[in-house]
């Protein structure tokens, strides 16, 4: 139509065709051929490598995790992007908010993986996720300061359902000694003071609960309060008669405590709550939570991408329709659900499909975030391709996985291209 010669057109297209052939067509063709050969690359293996896709435990776990990724990650990222896009239209600092949400897209997968490996660290002093989780937990259920405390030799205490109970009843006017050991000096409560021997009170039960240990051989006296020994500040003590608690108290900073006369003849119990180990948070990168944790890192990165595309689509929604719905009595939720979302359906579909293509080839985050002990549980097809090809020396199976991934991506790509063409025609 333009009079351009076919030869000239081919010459202009030739560089692009050469690059396309070298970077796309040749690798695909070579992988397809290699997928029919064994690990040595010399013997024809037929469809054995493809059979391994459904018989190898590692590949089946990877396929299951890819399905979880395919369902969860695009849906959550798209939903958050939609919520962010709608909310940013209603606040003054919407542009700044969009910038903050989109900023993770500027970070490489490698950097994001390292960041979230630290975020999910098991130690609450290092991992932000567990620091928050432990803080919330300890607000409602504080951990004990004496998790390793236990009776020493010749102690009047005996084990009782995770706690300790005196072997003999206690009586008014006779001070009670409750010596314990096992807590390192630097782990004692900050408010702990030097232990003090309780004074006798004819009308009450008195006693001392303390750390019966003094550094140095032959320095301390077992069962007696020595000058350098500290009291168990806050130790809970209960008086028990016939299995029922008749009185309870807490030890003071110097370890002394007092119970009323009603505790006369009772056994003293140090409940198990005194010795509960400190809560150490959630094992985010353990076998059961590693995949959701990595999906969370992915959503953190890609929710901004979804928000920007959806916000662009939202800018084209006729405001007259939204205002007309409000005039007709629709509340904001009804406007959002019945007008905004349907009008944004084409954009939402494009975002979701794009993210689906992206998660099918996810590799970096899983490889970096999942520790070696949980990598088998977090495995995905792209990671299994790498492991089969480079760690296990099975290039035939790795090529079969790559072809399988291509077959999974093609239908999604075709769907996306058809939708885009329909949009262009409109």
Neighbours of 345 (CB within 10 A): 10
* Mean pLDDT computed over 129-155: 82
pLDDT, tens digit (0-9, with 9 covering 90-100), for 170-180: 999 999 999 99
pLDDT given at position 162:
84
Neighbours of 54 (CB within 10 A): 9
* Mean pLDDT computed over 305-312: 92
pLDDT score of 1 more than 60? no
Q: What percent of the chain has pLDDT over 70?
A: 96
pLDDT given at position 273:
85
CA distances from 338 to 26, 332, 334 (A): 48, 10, 6
pLDDT score of 407 more than 50? yes
> Smallest Cα–Cα separation from 52: which of 41, 43, 63, 42?
63
Partners of residue 180 on adjacent β-strands: 211
- Comparing 77-91, 148-162, 217-231, 297-311, the range with the smallest average pLDDT is 217-231
- Comparing 18-22, 189-193, 218-222, 369-373, the range with the smallest average pLDDT is 218-222
pLDDT score of 337 more than 80? yes
pLDDT score of 293 more than 90? yes
Partners of residue 352 on adjacent β-strands: none
pLDDT score of 97 more than 80? yes
- Pairing state between β 176-180 and 205-211: parallel
Burial class (CB in 10 A: 0-12, 13-18, 19+), 396: buried
> Smallest Cα–Cα separation from 293: which of 112, 141, 172?
112
- Per-residue burial over 68-82, b if 16 or more Cβ lie within 10 Å, else e, is ebbebbbebbbebbb
Degrees to nearest 5, angle at CA 189 with 183 and 195? 75
CA distance 378 to 380: 7
pLDDT given at position 73:
95
Residue located via tokens 């130690």: 123
Quote the longest CA-to-CA distance of the chain: 118
State the average pLDDT for the chain.
88
Confidence of residue 16 (pLDDT cuts 50, 70, 90): very high
pLDDT score of 83 more than 80? yes
- 0.85 exceeded by the pTM? no
pLDDT, tens digit (0-9, with 9 covering 90-100), for 22-57: 998 999 899 899 889 888 777 888 888 888 888 888
Across the beta sheet with 256-259, the strand order is: 176-180, 205-211, 256-259
* Mean pLDDT computed over 78-107: 88
- Comparing 135-144, 172-181, 352-361, the range with the smallest average pLDDT is 135-144
- Per-residue burial over 308-322, b if 16 or more Cβ lie within 10 Å, else e, is bbbbebbeeeeeeeb
The DSSP-derived string for 164-233 is EEESS---TTS-EEEEEB---GGGS-TT--B--PPPP-TTSEEEEEEE---SSTTTS-TTS--TT-BB-T
Cβ-Cβ contacts under 8 Å for 414 (sequence gap 6 or more):
none
């Amino acid at each position: 139509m333009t009079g351009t010669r076919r030869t000239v057109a081919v010459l202009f297209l030739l560089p692009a065709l050469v690059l396309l052939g070298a970077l796309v067509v040749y690798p695909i063709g070579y992988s397809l051929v290699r997928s029919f050969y064994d690990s040595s690359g010399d013997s024809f293996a037929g469809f054995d490598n493809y059979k391994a896709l459904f018989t190898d435990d590692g590949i089946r776990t990877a396929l299951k995790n890819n399905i979880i990724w395919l369902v969860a990650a695009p849906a959550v990222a798209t939903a958050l992007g939609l919520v962010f896009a709608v909310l940013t239209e209603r606040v003054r600092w919407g542009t700044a908010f969009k910038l903050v949400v989109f900023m993770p897209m500027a970070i490489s997968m490698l950097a994001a993986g390292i960041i979230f490996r630290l975020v999910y660290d098991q130690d609450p002093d290092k991992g932000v996720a567990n620091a928050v989780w432990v803080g919330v937990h300890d607000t409602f259920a504080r951990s004990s300061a004496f998790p390793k405390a236990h009776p020493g030799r010749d102690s009047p205490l005996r084990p009782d359902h995770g706690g300790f109970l005196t072997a003999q009843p206690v009586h008014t006017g006779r001070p009670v000694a409750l010596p314990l050991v096992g807590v390192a000096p630097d782990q004692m409560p900050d408010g702990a003071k030097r232990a003090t021997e309780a004074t006798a009170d004819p009308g009450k039960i008195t006693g001392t609960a303390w750390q019966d240990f003094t550094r140095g051989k032959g320095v301390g006296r077992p069962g007696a309060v020595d000058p350098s020994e500290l009291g168990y500040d806050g130790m809970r003590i209960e008086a028990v008669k016939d299995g029922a608690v008749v009185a309870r108290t807490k030890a003071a900073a110097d370890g002394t405590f007092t119970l009323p006369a009603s505790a006369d003849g009772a056994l003293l119990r140090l409940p198990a709550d005194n010795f509960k180990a400190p809560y150490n948070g959630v094992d985010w990168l353990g076998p059961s939570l590693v995949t959701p944790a990595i999906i969370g890192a992915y959503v953190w990165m890609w929710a901004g991408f979804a928000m920007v595309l959806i916000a662009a689509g939202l800018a084209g929604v006729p405001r007259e329709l939204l205002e007309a719905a409000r005039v007709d009595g629709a509340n904001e939720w009804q406007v959002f659900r019945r007008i905004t979302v349907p009008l944004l359906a084409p954009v939402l579909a494009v975002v979701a499909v794009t993210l689906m293509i992206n998660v099918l080839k996810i590799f970096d985050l899983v490889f970096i975030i999942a520790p070696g002990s949980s990598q088998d549980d977090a495995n995905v097809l792209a990671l299994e391709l790498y492991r089969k090809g480079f760690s296990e020396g099975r290039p035939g199976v790795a090529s079969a996985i790559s072809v399988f991934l291509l077959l999974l991506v093609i239908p999604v790509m075709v769907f996306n291209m058809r939708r885009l063409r329909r949009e262009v025609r409109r």
